Amino acid sequence: MYKDFSLNDWDALIIPGGFSYGDWLRAGAIAARTQAIEKLKDAKDMHIPILGICNGFQILVEGELLPGALLPNENSKFVCRWIKTYVEKPRGPWLSLVEEKQEIDMPVAHAEGRYYVDEETYRSSLLKSPIVRYAPGHNPNGSIYDIAGVGSEDGLILGLMPHPERSSEDILAPRGFRANGKILFESLAHSLKKGW
């Protein structure tokens, strides 16, 4: 149970996708007001890497661990398909093996994945941080600046709408895509071995 959760036993935290509290109110909004989010803030202070995937990204944004907001998709429909992304300013434990502009193919599956951030925050904060962008022609939800994911400036915290865990075996990828999302988890393992 999350109320019994202790940070002492973990080297990293992953908040998976799903529908926390049925996504009532807004996706991730209720979960971000539970005792669990306080534990995430403690984890940040303890320099424990945190990855939020899909609903986990929504929770990180709602809990103000990452900037911005996640809005309903521009087409008002649930989107489930493979997309191509690329990474800018890769740094931190989740992206330590990723090269600048490296392309990562992953599936998306969401109805509220349209990332939004005001221009001032984008220019003053996000442009200094790791950003995962949808490749041209692959933005499935109308996210501003084609943003698929954002990180804290040091890369300790990363939030993504695409699912890297569903892109870990070649047999999972459809024609024209590579299942290379596992590089995030390989990066974490590499970083932890190096003493992150």
pLDDT in tens, the chain (196 residues): 456 667 778 899 998 876 555 555 555 555 656 677 788 888 888 999 999 999 899 989 988 899 999 999 999 999 999 999 999 999 999 999 999 999 999 999 999 999 999 999 999 999 999 999 999 999 999 999 999 999 999 999 999 999 999 999 999 999 999 999 999 999 999 999 998 7
Q: HSE of 11 in the Cβ direction (CA atoms, 13 Å)?
A: 12
Q: Which of 120, 165, 169, 186 is catalytic?
A: 165
Has 163 been annotated as catalytic?
Answer: yes
Q: Which of 47, 54, 80, 103 is catalytic?
A: 54
Per DSSP, the three-state class of 193 is helix
Per DSSP, the three-state class of 108 is strand
Backbone angles phi, psi at 50, to 5 degrees: -130, 130
For the chain, the structural domain boundaries read: 2-193
Q: Which of 110, 112, 138, 163 is catalytic?
A: 163
> What is the CATH architecture assignment of 2-193?
3-Layer(aba) Sandwich (3.40)
Instruction: Show Cβ contacts of residue 125 under 8 Å, excluding neighbours closer than 6 positions.
Output: 67, 153
Strands lying side by side in the sheet with 147-151: 13-15, 50-53, 157-160, 147-151, 131-134, 79-88, 103-110
Neighbours of 125 (CB within 10 A): 16
